[in-house]
Amino acid sequence: MKKQLIFVFLFCISTIVLHAEVKVANVFGSHMVLQRHQQNPIWGTANVGEKITVSIAGQLHKTVANRKGEWRIQLDAMKAGGPYKMIVEGENKIVFEDILIGEVWICTGQSNMQWSVENSNHAELEMLSANYPKIRLISIPLVGVSEPQTDIKEANWVACSSETIPKFSAAGYFFGRRLHQILDVPVGLINASWGASSLESWIPRDAIEKKYKHKEFLEDWDWRINQFTDQMLIDYTKKYEAWEKAGKPGQKKRPPRDIRIGQNRPANAYNGVIHPVIGYGIRGSIWCQGESNLGRGDQYSELFPIMINSWRERWKNGDFPFYWIQIASMKEPDLEPENSSWAELREGMSKTLSLPNTGEVISMDVGEGNDIHYRNKQEMGNRLARLALDDTYNFKIEGRSPRYKSMEIQGNKITIQFDNIDQGLYAFNSSIVKGFSIAGENQKFVWADAKIIGKNKVEVSSVGIKNPEAVRYAWSNKPVSNLIDRNGLPVACFRTDKWQIPSEGKVLAQKRYKYPNSKKD
């Protein structure tokens, strides 16, 4: 009797397996854009040993599902065009319609990338005019998990229209729209951004383990996860709701969040959002993130390259372009020069320009003093587009902001020389160059007088500093600075000194909760 039951069980299992349908990963679908001029992988699942064929635009590719029930083919490179139909066949048939070939970019980061068109400047006009049927959009579902996922939840590609654009990434859309208008090819935009996410959440755990020298960073996170309980979340939620009901008195409280599945735990966003789509044919990535890492600017300069390199290694698409929007600005302008966590974060991001095929656009001039989510996403889209057109598409246009190159001390003055000068330096909206500070050996900075003395040089001094040693520019949470290239690109924040800054040595992430009876708190 026991043997008969086992036989029946095995027969049922084999019947289920034999009737498993061919499936294609959810990132693929009707209305998608495939990257032109490169081989694009297509993958999915099927019954073990099942024969699969994939056809599109005269191509026919065959493969067999492996022992794990996985299959994968590579399409031959195609020129921009379409629409095409893709047919995937095994024991069943899947048909994807209206596929275009063009340029594909993935848009990633936290809330200033996730920030929607409907909440940006001139939202009504932008939505009414969003009639671009050859711009295609997909938003990846946001899932935070501790293990890499093989597929995303169901998501659909859609053509850009007044109905589909309102909740899509504004920075991503304005960037993609410019590319579409200038390149005159279809553009696909993959929105994979998650508000309030930390940099470390987008990095594979094994990459942090192998590449980041501070083991205590992950050890601390593992300790927090082990200590965290459902009851802690329930108790804190009650306190938070009571605080809200009372009118939010006193110190601001952070909203409740399950840190086990949230967007701050290392690797969570990578595992649930990025890993399932790695391999999809892209031209490059644009990134906007940093606010959740404020206070750890020095650490950012170590973790950010780890993230970019890990994505490139896993995508197996070479050193694809990776461009980012530098963190913007907020709060009140400084009365006197001070340390700045925002400036340190900007510096940490800029150091990553040492990686090949990377670029950074400046946003501190569009930041809003009382809102971390600035509305002028059109300017960010334009600056990202300039960068891509310059670096990726080889247009004769300067895409990079002027940057500090060198300094020369001459008596009581310091001359600063800049790189990436296009049309020449200019003090915007004033006859006075604003934003410079200067210090002597005591390392105490004071506001400086500055004047442009050439196409790419500025002379900096202060009557109170007879023997200057260092200069800083726009080194503030909300800098009052106005030095730009006449092409409209602002000069990047910088410092000439290598003096210690507050974020050096800060490795552990800020804790959201208090853990009772522990020295770790």
Nearest to 393 by CA among 180, 223, 226: 180
Beta bridge partners of 193: 109
Q: Give the chain's length.
A: 521
CA distance 284 to 282: 5
Identify the H or E element spanning 387. Answer: helix 377-391
CA-to-CA separations, 458 to 343, 440, 487, in angstroms, rounded: 20, 18, 18
CA distance 26 to 235: 37
Q: Judge residue 364's burial from the number of C-beta atoms within 10 Å of its C-beta, 0-12 exposed, 13-18 middle, 19 or more buried.
A: buried
Q: DSSP secondary-structure letter at 130?
A: -
Q: Could you name the CATH architecture of 403-495?
A: Beta Barrel (2.40)
Nearest to 334 by CA among 439, 190, 478: 478
pLDDT in single tens digits along all 521 residues of the chain: 444 544 444 444 444 444 579 999 999 999 999 999 999 999 999 999 999 999 999 999 999 999 999 999 999 999 999 999 999 999 999 999 999 999 999 999 999 999 999 999 999 999 999 999 999 999 999 999 999 999 999 999 999 999 999 999 999 999 999 999 999 999 999 999 999 999 999 999 999 999 999 999 999 999 999 999 999 999 999 999 999 999 999 999 999 999 999 999 999 999 999 999 999 999 999 999 999 999 999 999 999 999 999 999 999 999 999 999 999 999 999 999 999 999 999 999 999 999 999 999 999 999 999 999 999 999 999 999 999 999 999 999 999 999 999 999 999 999 999 999 999 999 999 999 999 999 999 999 999 999 999 999 999 999 999 999 999 999 999 999 999 999 999 999 999 999 999 999 999 998 888 887 554 44
Q: DSSP secondary-structure letter at 510?
A: P
Residue 131 · residue 389 · CB < 8 Å: no
- Start-end ranges of CATH 2.60.40.10 in the chain? 19-193
Pick 19-193's CATH classification: 2.60.40.10, 3.20.20.120, 1.10.1670.10, 3.40.30.10: 2.60.40.10
- Start-end ranges of CATH 2.40.10 in the chain? 403-495
Q: In terms of DSSP H, where are the helices of 198-296? A: 205-211, 215-227, 230-245, 268-269
Identify the H or E element spanning 86. Answer: strand 81-89
CA distance 407 to 418: 9
CA distance 312 to 7: 48
SS3 at position 436: strand
Q: DSSP secondary-structure letter at 116?
A: B
What is the value of pTM for the model shown? 0.95
CA angle 367/369/372 to nearest 5° reads 60
